[in-house]
Structure 1
């Protein structure tokens, strides 16, 4: 975490990807700079949150390797969970950044990395939904302890035991959802421009991440794996082999 003196006087970062997650470039104004860190008034980069890792790319040709959030305020989601909104994004550069406060800059994300994250975040929603259906069929409540989304896999830690023989059925259900679900819609929750409701058919999940518009944009072989995680818990992974497309 960077020194609070760098970000505490900055306004919340405007998140350009909410308007168009397919946009690869954007412009911004430099608000603060310190060695390898910079803060801008707005950003096309996704900052790590909600289990999804950050975008990478360049600002004025200088390599950005990570983006994190600082500050913000809590916001209660419809499902009872709490998200952080109105945060300040700080961008970490590979080398000390040659930027000045007030400068207008050009941003460009690593598109292939972003697209892969969008695909995996959408698959994570299908994993979450399919597992919830299974647990409901067993008279159990779906509760999670955390998640992680990267370019080729995603995982959820569920607060209950899910047996190995349940995995093939969950995987089959995800494949069905991929084939049958319509184009997704993303609408902001009242009171915030940071958290949205992702909808595809009957699926509805509060989320602030990036997703593909249509499940058909996810090509490849989907595999679900499990492992025991902590006392009475289960970690389920969903992986995408794009070479099998």
Structure 2
């Protein structure tokens, strides 16, 4: 049975992806801060293991990897998914604390997960594995009022490229999925903010979150000699191409 560790697995894209991998017969380690939400997944799936932890806590995440490897034997893939949007406003109105919080979760937390995944995949026998980072359309074309999130996701793209290069000698593949407007709590919260400012605003098209989850499964299911370096999946009529 193949194994994958998924961060931010308690809701949204992370939860949909965990459930998709479980349906496909994978052993799934579900990481998130909210233990009760993880229990909702693991209570109905024998192949799922709840691993409550904060991705920004190095010691807690080391325990996560140790526990999951002890259960699964190895880690074939990691979906580096945990993240947050932060304040939606102009740069001058963003507090330094708010900026630091987004960078801490979206960059530092993602680095910690990638660092530990790389170490495990380098050490295990047979050597290798796959790290999939959750980027964003904002890693390429930002939306207004997203300086914290956009900055963090540009950093994720750099992280993806570096891991891809450094992983070659150890059979470690790294790719990035950039997802646009899947129906998740994060996007619904963003839409609520938009409507609060302008009740007559036209909301952008959205796609089913399951389509994003199946895209991650495709990336993870490839043999290690093949890699999706960057994948963009979005609602078809979303104003991404040409939106700048």
Q: What TM-score comes out, normalization by structure 1 length?
A: 0.23
- Please identify the structure whose Cα radius of gyration is greater: 1
Higher strand share: 1
Higher helix share: 2
